Structure 1
Amino acid sequence: MYVRLAINNAKRSIKDYLIYFITITLCVSLFYAFTSMSSSSYELITEDSLNFELLKQILKYSTYIVTALLVLLIGYVNKYMIKRRQKEFATYILLGTEQKSVALMFFIEMLIIGIGSIVLGVFIGTLFSQVVTAVVLMTAKQDIIFSFKLYMDTVIITFIFFIAMFCIIGFFNMKALGKVKIIDMINAQKKTEFQFKRSKIVYVSIFIVAIVLYSVCGYCSYEILKTTVTKGDKAIYISIALIGYIIGTYALFYSLAYIIIAVKDKWINFKYEYTNLFLIGAIVSKIKTAPILMATISITFLGAALSFTLTLLMSQWTLGFLDYRVPYDIFINNDYSMITDTSDIAKISDLPKMDYKKIIEHLNNDGYNIDDYCQAEKYFLNIDDFKVRDKGKTPMLAISLSDYNKLRKMMGYEKVTLNNNEFTMQWAKLIEDTDIGNYIKENSTITIDGNNLKISSNSYYKESIGEGIYNGNTNALVVLPDEWCKELNLAGTDFFANTKEKISYDKALSLEKQYVPQWFKENYSKVLSEYNKDNSRAFYPIFTRVKVAEVSEILNATLAMRILGMYLGTVLLMISLTVLALQQLSDSIEHKERFKTLKKLGIDNNEINKIILKQIALYFIMPISVAVIGFVIFMYNVANIGSKVISLYVGDSVFVFNIGISLAIILIIYICYFVATYYTFKRNVKGRSKSC
């Protein structure tokens, strides 16, 4: 009997709480879509230069964490439904049903709804999984191929994960419902979460505090944009701004209902104009009974918007930075700074003039064929620079003009020429031209072996020749005519190469982790023995970076950010909008007598529909408007602080485009929930009040 009653109630619950059912279904479908990528039978890309095993593992475990946020939504909706139906539960108990049986019936009812959403979500998830696959393939510049199929291991994981979630929440609901007194069940709908219990001065003071905190947030944002503010101070300002915004939001909604009532009482003409009194009363009633919930929804909505936007921008920045970081197929860096024993300056002569011919032969023998390469030697401008290990004082190194031009040729740039008494400089793209100009103005000449060299008329170049060419944090390199380099001490020899055939991912890892370190150990054992006498660590003053491996790893990180950011944003957005929608739908059921009264007063159906539309619109807009203000301030700061990075690695148009995509997704989801709430609200009013 109880099972049959639970099934009937479940059918009714689906009708009354369709938005909740749809939300859970969509979350299940997203969970299935992302988790399916880790299925043993899932095939993504077969090209041997790419490996997405890391992405699969990231999505597999991160999806669990993100989806676990649904516990908050499911727990809230269950608590909300229990409260709404406590009078019904009290009736069952008065008719002779045991209270624990009523609790069990409610648990079965919610479990049935949950299972229905899982089944439907899995099938919709097969469509979403194709979208995820398409995103991966487009990012990796591969042909898009669709394959609709169910992955049974993922289906089982999805069922276990969500049913476990429903059961855990159901257990606590049964326990809580079993302790509620019958008299409290009967009077449950008469209670509110919050009422005005304090004096006028308290609410006005809290409202003023909210305004002050928002002003502090704005002031901190203004200070953050100043170039004179240090990184440490910026972190403090950001923290203060964030805390001020959050506390200010809760203070605003705590006092907002009282402020609206105070304004309404002063604005007499507007208050009694047509149906405004009814509309204001409905809005104030909701804000007054759930201020903490409204503020939490606002913060959650802001988190969703930032999750959408920032992850898209960060992934785009990562892809843009990739071309700058690894422009050559193979790069091997000989880093002298890993030699920690600098007590004897004479040991600088032990630094080897490395020869990479064996590595070239090795790659050619494996069929990858070196297309072009350069062994670039770098030099100390001052012999004492060898002893500097302070990262803040890292010295600039020099490179010969011939090696520099060879690197430029490999990248397709024009040749650079210098007179015998001139030098020029190579700078990282990220450095501002004004900063470079100021440095050159103060360092327009350098002295080598007692001879002064002046800066060339073409004083610097910023075309990308790789991140690793620079010494530590210097972001600059001095370019000298070849003959002057003979007078300087060698700091290291770097290797740059491009191959005719694309290297496989496994081969790239083998080069980085095995072959190159072993080659260095066999050919330059003197360096190892001299500077690692106690064998306390595996010391290799050499670092290898293969473009194929870097591309694969960066694509894994990029896709993980992009996919999880959109997933997290969607989940947070659906949680926010579902709670907003359920709050309004409860109003359509609990306060239907208001609409019946309006009908008796001569208000026609069209006007009632307008009132419903205004009520829902205002209720949806208020918390989201506060979130939009925070979003605009945050993105304005991002655009200004990171303007150089955005311009170089993302592009201004792509930056705006990514924000546009994020806002478009949010707007589409928002409109869907708004429209669904509006039509369900009307159905509830008309279906439960025939006079309407």
Structure 2
Amino acid sequence: MYAKIAINNAKRSIKDYLIYFVTLILCVSLFYGFTSLSSSDYKLITEDSYNFEMLKQILKYSTYIVTSLLVILIGYVNKYMIKRRKREFATYILLGAPQKTVAFMFFIEMLVVGIISIFIGIFIGTLFSQLVTALVLITAKQEIIFSFKIYVDTVIITFIFFIAMFCIIGVFNIRSLTKIKIIDMINDEKKTEFQFKRSNIVYIIIFIMSILFYVICGYCSYKILQAMSDITIIRGTKVSCALVAIITFVIGTYALFYSLAYIIVVIKEKWTSFKYEYTNLFLIGSIVSKIKTAPILMATISLTFLGAALSFTLTLLMAQWGVGFLDYRLPFDINISNSYIHITEIKDIPKIDYSDLASYFSNEKYGLKDYCQVEKYFIKDTDFYKGRNKENPYESKSMPALAIGLSDYNNLRRMLGYNEITLGDNEFTTQWEKIDDDIYINDNINNNSTIDVNGTKLNISSNPYYKETIGEYIYNMGTGTLIILPDDVCKTLVLAETDFFGNTKIKMSCDEAVKLRKEYVPNWFEKNYREVCTKYGDDISSRNESIYPGSIRIKVGETSEILNGSLAMRILGIYLGTVLLMISLTVLALQQLSDSIEHKERFKTLKKLGIDNKEINRLILKQISLYFIMPIAIAVIGFLIFLYNYTKIFKNEINIYIGDKAFIFNVVISLGLILTIYICYFVATYYTFKRNIENKSGS
């Protein structure tokens, strides 16, 4: 008998809480779709220059963490349903059912709802997994091949994960229900979230404080923007301002919703003509009642919605940033950078000859199209000691800009398709990172328009600087500047570093790139420059760094890693944003739908007073609109503040790595996704509310 009651209640729960049921299905489908990528049976067919194993591992474990947020939603809905049905549970107990049995019936009921959602979610998840696969293949510029398949190991993982989640919450529900007294079950629905009973002055003070908190948040945002253009302001001040801005925004949001109900009542009393206009009195009463009984919930929903919006937008932008940064960071197929920072004695800096490596690359199947060996020099011998911590020679603070010869610089430019440059007698020029601001560069050049190189005075060229991308690793650590000197001047300078830059004829595979980076090139250095490797190798390896020379960068490997990270950010950002959005909108929807079930008598009264169905539908639309808009309006303000600060702080990075069009496109995509999900929940809530009112009114 009890089993039959539990199953019937489960059917009723699916009907009454359809939005929650659909949300569960969507979350299961998303979980299955992402987790299927890490299945042992899953095959992602791409060319051998890509390796997406890292992406699979990231998605595998990150999906568990993100999906665990559903515990909040499931826990809230269970708590909400228990609260709504405590009178029903009390009736079962009064009719003779043991309290533990009633609690277990509720557990079975919710478990049945969960299992049904898992089955449907897995079916939809097979379709969603194909969308994820298509996204990966499009990003890798591969042919899209659809293959609808059920992955048994992923199905088992999905069942175990979600059933474990339902069971954990179910155990807490059983313990909670068995401890509640019958009299409390009967009277519990009369209680609100918190019994806020304060004098009017308290609410006014809290409201004023909420406004002050928002003002402080805005002021801190202004100070952060001001600090970005003032190098005298220390980094700690910027971080402190950011923390204060976040904390004050959060506190201000909770304070606002705590006092908002009273403020609305005050406005209602002052605005008499509006209050008594048609159904406004009923509408205001409903909204005030909801805010008054659940201010903490409303504030939490607002912040959750803000988190969802940031997750959607920020991860899409950062993913695009990563892809754009790749071309700037490593424009050459092979880059071997030799750093002197590991060397403590200037006489130990070796003059490296990469010709053997160039021959090896040329004889491999990928071949070597062209290459350049670049020698970098200290302007002064004492530059070797600049920026070094005496206690730790490997810790750099402010490193000197290094110099290279004109012929080496032109070789690099020619390999990248740029025009070669010329220098007049006793002239020099500079190369800067593309991200550096022109005003900053000009100020620096004006203050250093002449340099002394071993007694020879050089003047800045008529073309004082160049910003074409030649890679990140050519600059000395933390400088972003190169000084271009005539070749004969460089012959008198002390060698600092020797780097190798090369382009292959065809793409090498990921396996070949890994072999070069981890085996062949380090072994070649150890064999040919054993003395320096032996002297400094132990110190380097003890800090978990690669053996001398420092860094070996292969574009194929870097591209694969960047694509893995970019895709992971895109996919997880969309997933996290969707989960947070669905949590906040599901809670909002359930709060409103409870009105259609619990307060149906109010709408019956309106009908008796002569209000027709058309006007009641308008009233429902206004009520749901206001309830959906209020918490989200605060989130939108927070989102706009963040987006404005983000575009100002990272203006150069956005222009260079993302581009204005791509930036706008990604923001529009993220806002489009948010708006689509929002409208779906809003429309579903409206029509379900209407259906409940019509059914209840007609009964």
Aligned partner of 1:352 in structure 2 is 350
- How far did residue 526 of structure 1 move? 2.1
- How far did residue 439 of structure 1 move? 1.1
Counterpart mapping for 1:514-663 below 5 A:
514-531=519-536, 537=542, 539-663=547-671
Aligned partner of 1:690 in structure 2 is 698
Per-residue displacement from partner, 1:570-590 (whole Å, max 9, x unpaired)? 000000000000000111111
Does 1:382 pair with 2:380? yes
Aligned partner of 2:119 in structure 1 is 119
Aligned partner of 2:27 in structure 1 is 27
One of 368, 371, 375 as aligned partner of 1:370: 368
Contact residue 213 and residue 252 of structure 2 kept, 8 A: yes
- How far did residue 536 of structure 1 move? 7.7
TM-score (norm 2): 0.96
Aligned partner of 1:155 in structure 2 is 155
Does 1:279 pair with 2:283? yes
- Looking at structure 2, the residues matched to 499 and 53 of structure 1 have their Cα atoms a distance apart, in angstroms, of 25
Contact residue 298 and residue 631 of structure 2 kept, 8 A: yes
Aligned-partner SS, 1:331: strand
Contact residue 30 and residue 125 of structure 2 kept, 8 A: yes
Greater Cα offset, 224-233 or 46-55: 224-233
Greater Cα offset, 40-49 or 172-181: 40-49
Unaligned runs of 5+ in 1: 343-347
Contact residue 428 and residue 458 of structure 2 kept, 8 A: yes
Does 1:451 pair with 2:456? yes
Aligned-partner SS, 2:202: helix
Aligned partner of 1:319 in structure 2 is 323
- How far did residue 420 of structure 1 move? 2.7
Unaligned runs of 5+ in 2: 389-395
One of 488, 493, 499 as aligned partner of 1:494: 499
- How far did residue 532 of structure 1 move? 5.6
- How far did residue 403 of structure 1 move? 0.6
Does 1:676 pair with 2:684? yes
- Looking at structure 2, the residues matched to 534 and 26 of structure 1 have their Cα atoms a distance apart, in angstroms, of 52
* Cα distance change on mapping 1:90 and 1:640 into 2, 3 Å: same
* Cα distance change on mapping 1:672 and 1:200 into 2, 3 Å: same
Aligned-partner SS, 1:549: helix
- Looking at structure 1, the residues matched to 145 and 462 of structure 2 have their Cα atoms a distance apart, in angstroms, of 54
Greater Cα offset, 442-451 or 651-660: 442-451
Does 1:263 pair with 2:261? no
2:524 is matched by which residue type in structure 1?
W
* Cα distance change on mapping 1:536 and 1:283 into 2, 3 Å: closer
1:493 is matched by which residue type in structure 2?
T
* Cα distance change on mapping 1:533 and 1:52 into 2, 3 Å: closer
- Looking at structure 2, the residues matched to 625 and 335 of structure 1 have their Cα atoms a distance apart, in angstroms, of 52
1:365 is matched by which residue type in structure 2?
N
- Looking at structure 2, the residues matched to 621 and 534 of structure 1 have their Cα atoms a distance apart, in angstroms, of 60
Aligned-partner SS, 1:337: coil
Greater Cα offset, 673-682 or 91-100: 91-100
Per-residue displacement from partner, 1:144-187 (whole Å, max 9, x unpaired)? 22111111110110011001100110111011111111111122
- Looking at structure 2, the residues matched to 268 and 389 of structure 1 have their Cα atoms a distance apart, in angstroms, of 72
Does 1:242 pair with 2:242? no
Aligned-partner SS, 2:147: coil
- How far did residue 230 of structure 1 move? 3.4
Aligned-partner SS, 2:4: helix
Aligned partner of 2:392 in structure 1 is none
Aligned-partner SS, 2:353: coil
- How far did residue 683 of structure 1 move? 1.0
Contact residue 451 and residue 457 of structure 2 kept, 8 A: yes
Contact residue 337 and residue 389 of structure 1 kept, 8 A: no
Per-residue displacement from partner, 1:109-163 (whole Å, max 9, x unpaired)? 1111100100000011111111111211122222222111111110110011001
Aligned partner of 1:80 in structure 2 is 80
Percentage of identical aligned residues: 68
Aligned partner of 1:422 in structure 2 is 427
Contact residue 321 and residue 649 of structure 1 kept, 8 A: yes
- Looking at structure 1, the residues matched to 521 and 279 of structure 2 have their Cα atoms a distance apart, in angstroms, of 80
- How far did residue 393 of structure 1 move? 2.5
Contact residue 328 and residue 497 of structure 1 kept, 8 A: yes
Contact residue 217 and residue 245 of structure 1 kept, 8 A: yes
Per-residue displacement from partner, 1:55-82 (whole Å, max 9, x unpaired)? 1011000100000000010000001011
One of 305, 328, 334 as aligned partner of 1:301: 305
Does 1:170 pair with 2:170? yes
- Looking at structure 2, the residues matched to 600 and 497 of structure 1 have their Cα atoms a distance apart, in angstroms, of 85
Aligned-partner SS, 1:425: strand
Contact residue 525 and residue 533 of structure 2 kept, 8 A: no
- How far did residue 329 of structure 1 move? 0.4
TM-score (norm 1): 0.97
- Looking at structure 2, the residues matched to 173 and 535 of structure 1 have their Cα atoms a distance apart, in angstroms, of 56
Aligned partner of 1:106 in structure 2 is 106
* Cα distance change on mapping 1:506 and 1:102 into 2, 3 Å: same
- How far did residue 289 of structure 1 move? 0.2
Aligned-partner SS, 1:689: helix
Aligned-partner SS, 1:370: coil
Contact residue 427 and residue 461 of structure 1 kept, 8 A: yes
Per-residue displacement from partner, 1:16-64 (whole Å, max 9, x unpaired)? 1000000000000000000000001111133111111111011000100
1:607 is matched by which residue type in structure 2?
E
Aligned partner of 1:211 in structure 2 is 211
Aligned residue-pair number: 685
- Looking at structure 2, the residues matched to 278 and 113 of structure 1 have their Cα atoms a distance apart, in angstroms, of 35
Aligned partner of 1:42 in structure 2 is 42
